[in-house]
Amino acid sequence: MPAALIARLETSDRLADAVKHHLRHMFRNSRAASANADPWREGDKATHVALLLSGFGYRCRQLANGRRQIVGYVVPGDLLTAGPLAAPVHDHSLRLTEASTYATLPDPELATLEPFLLRLLTRLVARELSISREWIANLGQREARARVAHLFCELSVRMRDIGQADGSSFPFPVTQQEIADSVGFTIVHVNRTLQALRRDGALAFDGRRAIVADFVRLTAIAGFDARYLD
Amino acid sequence: MPAALIARLETSDRLADAVKHHLRHMFRNSRAASANADPWREGDKATHVALLLSGFGYRCRQLANGRRQIVGYVVPGDLLTAGPLAAPVHDHSLRLTEASTYATLPDPELATLEPFLLRLLTRLVARELSISREWIANLGQREARARVAHLFCELSVRMRDIGQADGSSFPFPVTQQEIADSVGFTIVHVNRTLQALRRDGALAFDGRRAIVADFVRLTAIAGFDARYLD
DNA sequence: CGCGAAATTGACGACCATCAATTATGGTGG
DNA sequence: CCACCATAATTGATGGTCGTCAATTTCGCG
């Protein structure tokens, strides 16, 4: 049940019942994955279209110099991959950091996909692209505090849009090392930056949840503008 | 005439004549733009599908802190935008740094696009996404020399794939300030880094052309792996 | 030849990396 | 329920990469 995708799409426009019906049919096959599973690795053949139904994860790229970069997070409702519609081979690994479920489109249906569903897939890929470009700007032009704050602004909005945020907090099963690999700093510097954000009263943590103590302040620190998430 | 696109697509697989015919028909309407034109700005409505036929440019995002980030370059054969198929509004500005031509798809044909052309557009958007993710890794994990080198590796390969490279050099109408805004350094540091690459015998310039003096060395410095460009 | 833009240089300082501990946390078995 | 262990978080000291500021030189074009 692609409820999260439907919820997010309906944050802007109401969907016709027929469309919802098609979506539910398209993503009716669901698979389970346990925490720390990798549905695919960089270089694997891209076989299916896949959509995250529940859980959490990130996309990860391994560099020749031995370092790795997290290039994006996936939350329920996100297109995990457009499969062979995008490229024959995956350019990154997908890691699910908690037990998750995702839907895959049966291969035979790929060839006969309704045009309007094909267009939806294009829009979903384009949204990933928009997010990626925001990350480029984040990595290239923001200093530590703003850069880290921006990551949490983004995730906060994305979680809220799918109804996964509980008040001002949301599930965040990610280590500081993984935050570091996302924003391009060392774990030591990320630790100090998170402490600064806590001192600012903008951000806090409770176990595996992130708490946006003051969203307005956090967005001000980050220079965050949510338009890229539409 | 989308010759560059066809050339690039044929670096991996031969295209059927019928496909080429469809592409030429799809992108038959061409427009001219002068140097330093901005076909669109961030926030503008996305009206057309557009493909660069000739020229050169970059995509640019403006940040709240007054800085800007170049989030990608466009060369002939690149999809400039999937228009309303991607998003109703542009999330970045497009700047053409030299006189260019680009093809646009007439609006009425958007609704009746052949499925296989729709799939091609999805693939082209996905390629932009793959390149964006490589940029994220570049900005997040590589130090100055490798990061700058990587940019030139990418452009060198992309120019070669479309037959725009003349031996080991290619047109590069970009200032050091723009390189700086691409890799997230200051112009001063970019200048020193370029000098280092020149001393290494890896890279040189001649007016508005970049000269890859030693591609193997440049890729070694960058830790470049061209697979993401397929 | 003259002008503005672009490239280059030097000195200095800040931000972030590195190295190396120590402390906290949370999951597990006794 | 607590002891135990591995993982994660935190801290301090020091150094290097890159930013900032300000000036000068070179280049491109009319």
**What are B172-226's pLDDT values in tens digits?**
999 999 999 999 999 999 999 999 999 999 999 998 999 999 999 999 999 999 9
Report CB contact under 8 Å: A133, B67. Answer: no
* Cα–Cα distance for residue pair A97/A171, rounded to 1 Å: 11
Buried b (16+ CB within 10 A) or exposed e, A78-98: bbbbbbbbbbebbbbbbbbbb
What mean pLDDT is reported for chain B? 96
Q: For A51-143, where are the alpha helices, taking DSSP H only?
A: 107-111, 115-141
**What are B49-58's pLDDT values in tens digits?**
999 999 999 9
Q: Which nucleotides of C are covered by protein (CB under 7 A)?
A: 5-11, 15-20, 25-26
Predicted confidence at residue B203, as pLDDT, reads 98
Q: Is B35 helix (H, G, I), strand (E, B) or coil?
A: coil
Other residues' Cβ atoms within 10 Å of the Cβ of residue B106: 11
Predicted confidence at residue B195, as pLDDT, reads 98
Please tell me which residue, B12 or A128, carries the higher pLDDT value: A128
Average pLDDT over residues B72-79: 98
Name the phi and psi angles at B75, rounded to 5: -125, 165
A198 burial level (CB within 10 Å; 0-12, 13-18, 19+): middle
Contacts A115 to B, Cβ<8 Å: 113, 115, 118
Please give the angle made by the CA atoms of A126, B6 and B182, to the nearest 5 degrees. 50
Minimum-distance nucleotide, CA of B146 to C1': D17
Predicted confidence at residue A107, as pLDDT, reads 84
B186 touches strand D (CB under 7 A): yes
Predicted confidence at residue B1, as pLDDT, reads 78
pLDDT band at B107; cut points 50, 70, 90: confident
Q: In the numeric block, which tokens belong to residue B44?
A: 């503008």
**Which pairs from B118-121 meet CB under 8 Å and 24+ separation?**
B118/A115, B118/A118, B118/A119, B118/A122, B118/B85, B119/A85, B119/A118, B120/B23, B121/A122, B121/B49, B121/B79, B121/B82, B121/B85
* Cα–Cα distance for residue pair A37/A40, rounded to 1 Å: 9
Q: With CA atoms as reference, report the closest residue to A227 among A154, A146, A168, A160.
A: A154
pLDDT band at B76; cut points 50, 70, 90: very high
Contacts B221 to A, Cβ<8 Å: none
* Cα–Cα distance for residue pair A86/B131, rounded to 1 Å: 13
Q: Express as a percent the part of chain B with pLDDT over 90.
A: 94
Length of chain A (residues)? 230
CA of B47 vs C1' of D22, distance in Å? 46
Give me the residues of chain A with pLDDT under 50, please: none
Tokens 């452009």 correspond to B155
Predicted confidence at residue B193, as pLDDT, reads 98
Contacts A80 to B, Cβ<8 Å: none
Predicted confidence at residue B106, as pLDDT, reads 81
